[in-house]
Amino acid sequence: MEPIQLPSPVIRTVGLTKRYGALDVLRGVDLEAREGEVISILGASGSGKSTFLRCLNLLEVPSGGTLNVLGEDVGFRMKGAEQQIADARQVNRLRSQIGMVFQNFCLWSHRTVLQNIMEGPVHVQGRNRHEVRAEAEKALERVGLRERADYYPSQLSGGQQQRAAIARAIVMQPQVLLFDEPTSALDPELVGEVLKVMQDLAAEGRTMLIVTHEMTFARDVSSRVVFLEQGTVRVQGAPQDLFRGGIDERFDRFVSHFSRQG
Ligand code: ADP
Ligand code: MG
């Protein structure tokens, strides 16, 4: 018999911790994301979801544990009382392969949609403008914004701005996409158009980690659900198992709370 080949881990954390002063925000997170997995990260406000994503993207330096991104162990060293990432070039190399989409879009307000999307490939990756322009237009097409290329962010709805932010992430051809509550700042009627784009990306087989309170999306689109509580993984599993209920009482209570709201 041939051994079963698992897809390689894109991200792996073992016992990842993060402390701010006396506050233990992450208290040992073990998580592995393999190629093509779509992982929804659920948890109450303050449970450490954003901090965890920011550690994966190397926007935050973990206090302890191990972090492996795209097959590379990220090395740390102490500088005074603070832990630092040892190799700055590794940070740049890895970060350019990790796409991040934030709650508040974070587009440049004084640049058009197209300029926003071309910014990374041209100025960070140092690529040819003409080539990048064609790819940026393709990325805009992908999120249904081809006609809005020359608009400024303030001329767009929140849903359109978030779709532009997704186009900006995918034009970098990242190995993994991280989303931090991408629909939480949107008016309810605009949530669906953003989730639809994310669902399409998931169907392409992209590796995605998504912090969300959209329970229907988590249940129907993700391949795995991870429930964080007070900085650790309380329970994780296939959505069809977890959402059936009866596996973890606190997860069930969390879900019913959000279902009541939604
Ligand atoms: P979530 O995204 O799950 O709501 P966060 O990761 O944003 O949670 O925050 C977890 C906890 O860490 C919160 O108590 C928050 O106040 C605290 N925290 C987050 N960032 C910082 C920071 N830069 N300095 C101090 N405390 C922080
Ligand atoms: Mg958060």
Q: Does the CB atom of residue 41 touch ligand 1 within 6 A?
A: no
Backbone phi, then psi, for 8, in 5-degree steps?
Answer: -75, 150
Backbone phi, then psi, for 225, in 5-degree steps?
Answer: -120, 135
Say which DSSP state 147 is in: G
Please, what sign has the CA dihedral across residues 257, 183, 223, 10? negative
Q: Does the CB atom of residue 231 touch ligand 1 within 6 A?
A: no
Q: b vs e for 82-101, b when ≥16 Cβ sit within 10 Å of the residue's Cβ?
A: ebebeeeebbeebbbebbbb
Which candidate, 12, 60, 17, places its Cα nearest to that of 231? Answer: 17
State the Cα–Cα distance between residues 128 and 126, nearest whole angstrom. 7
The Å distance, Cα 135 to ligand 2 centre, comes to 31
pLDDT at residue 120 in the model: 92
pLDDT at residue 260 in the model: 62
Start-to-end CA distance of the chain, whole Å, equals: 48
Q: Region 214-219: what's the mean pLDDT?
A: 96
The Å distance, Cα 180 to ligand 2 centre, comes to 7
pLDDT band at 7 (very low <50, low <70, confident <90, very high): confident
Q: Does the CB atom of residue 47 touch ligand 1 within 6 A?
A: yes
pLDDT digits (tens, 9 = 90+) for 134-172: 999 999 999 999 999 999 999 999 999 999 999 999 999
Percentage, residues of the chain above pLDDT 70: 98
pLDDT at residue 181 in the model: 97
pLDDT at residue 83 in the model: 84
pTM of the model: 0.95
pLDDT at residue 261 in the model: 57
Number of H helices, E strands in the chain: 9, 12
